[in-house]
Amino acid sequence: MNAKERMLNAYRGKEWDTVPVAPEFWFFYPAKVLGVTVAEFQREYPHWFGMKKCFEKYGCEGWGIAGALQNHPDIQVKSNYQKIAEHTYRDTQHLHYGEKTYRRANLYTDEIPYWIEEPPVKNAGELNHFLSYSLSEKMEFDFKDAVHAYNQVGNAFLLEFDMGLPFFDYFEDLMGFEEAALFFMTEEEGVLQKYFDQYTAHKLALLNAAIENTPFESYFIGCSSSCLALLGADLWRKWDKPYEKIITDVCHQHGKLVHNHNHGKCMAIVPDFAEIGFDCVCPFERDPGDVNGVEELRKVKELLGGKVTFNGNVHTVRALIEGTPQVVRQQVREIKEVFHGSSWRYIIGTGDQVGAETPEENLYAMIEEARLVV
């Protein structure tokens, strides 16, 4: 089997020839392998290209994402990227729609991934106007780059179509976390329901167009703050779970797979993953997550009920960065002890992305231990 086939078989609960082992290479290690800064990688290289270099270098399985470009015929965007301090850069965008201009600013650095310095929507009063274009039926989806990425990646790893953020995280991206959380807790339910319907319709349009126009086997639903640590179970179940269920059902109707990323603590909502019907979930993090060893791993396995593929759990800091190869191997053995022999529904992965400080010997220890026959 090749790397992609092993991942797909794991997602489907079908037999693979060796345990899939999929470190989450994302920004830090691809930049390191390419010999560029993180800012250069994020702005000058296709994400899939750096990921492919990593998976080829370390000879393991993995996953990555590629999405559609979205264009609105009535929008003008002007961008200004400039160095503002040593190793720090600001990308300022002005979005002109109708008679209003929205300003968004992202900060990039040479060492860590970018973050939002200034979100475009400054208060809830601007939402209606902003959403009237960002979720408009006029929005055009361009899949050219995504299909190119899929073809270039080939069987090197599993490239998935990126469905973007769940419902709450979309508003966090527009307003910032504090404003979005306050908005969700204080706004009338009817208003939120209207936005939910609007957002879901937009995403279904994207999904159906992607299914029709691209060859992707698997679809990815990400996570920013839509997790227990920041949003909590109640708000997640009220707004994000129904959205993710709708997307998953449509994917399954068309024979597509769904991979969900839900970081941090997750034990309280693991049964929900099975109810939604995800094919794979990651990363089931150890502390400060709550899947910290054999006992918790067994509980997760029981709650998933053989319906969802487990991916993750090797600690990216305490094992991969700070630990020894022996510590890394022990965590891999714990995962294999719980899951091996009962199903094909597990992947040895990391608790979120591999840090730049990670010694290569620890990465190789993770991969080698996963490959050992139990």
**Over pLDDT 70: what percentage of the chain?**
100
- What residues pair up with 9 in beta bridges, in sequence order? none
Per-residue pLDDT averaged across 83-92, rounded?
A: 98
Q: What is the pLDDT of residue 229?
A: 87
- Across the chain, what does the average pLDDT equal? 96
CB 153 within 8 A of CB 48: yes
* Separation CA 321–CA 287 (nearest Å): 14
Q: List Cβ neighbours of 106 (8 Å cut-off, separation of 6 or more).
A: 90, 91, 93, 114, 115, 116, 117
**Over pLDDT 90: what percentage of the chain?**
97
Q: Encode pLDDT of 222-260 as tens digits.
A: 999 999 989 999 999 999 999 999 999 999 999 999 999
CB 74 within 8 A of CB 97: yes
* Separation CA 280–CA 282 (nearest Å): 7
Q: Roughly what angle, to the nearest 10 degrees, separates helices 189-213 and 241-253? A: 20
Q: List Cβ neighbours of 157 (8 Å cut-off, separation of 6 or more).
A: 3, 4, 7, 22, 51, 52, 55, 61, 62, 63, 64
Quick one: pLDDT band at residue 104, thresholds 50, 70, 90?
very high
Quick one: pLDDT band at residue 98, thresholds 50, 70, 90?
confident
Nearest partner of 111 among 133, 88, 130, judged by Cα:
88
Q: What is the pLDDT of residue 268?
A: 97
List alpha helices for the chain, DSSP H: 3-12, 28-34, 38-44, 47-58, 127-134, 144-153, 167-175, 177-186, 189-213, 233-235, 241-253, 270-276, 294-304, 325-339, 360-371
* Separation CA 136–CA 138 (nearest Å): 5
Q: What is the pLDDT of residue 374?
A: 67
Question: Count of residues for the chain?
Answer: 374
Per-residue pLDDT averaged across 262-269, rounded?
A: 95
Quick one: pLDDT band at residue 99, thresholds 50, 70, 90?
confident
Q: What is the 3-class SS of 228-284, one letter each residue?
A: CCCCCHHHHHHHHHHHHHHHHHHHHHCCCEEEEECCCCCHHHHHHHHHHCCCEEECC
Phi/psi at 106 (nearest 5 deg)? -115, 140
Q: Residue 302 has which token pair? A: 């029981």
Distances (CA, A) of 48 to 27, 116, 165, 211, 315: 11, 22, 19, 20, 24
Q: Encode pLDDT of 50-87 as tens digits.
A: 999 999 999 999 999 999 999 999 999 999 999 999 99
What CATH number does domain 3-73+122-371 carry, 3.20.20.210, 3.30.70.360, 3.30.750.24, 3.40.47.10?
3.20.20.210
Q: Encode pLDDT of 151-165 as tens digits.
A: 999 999 999 999 999
Highest average pLDDT, of 55-64, 119-128, 131-140, comes from 55-64
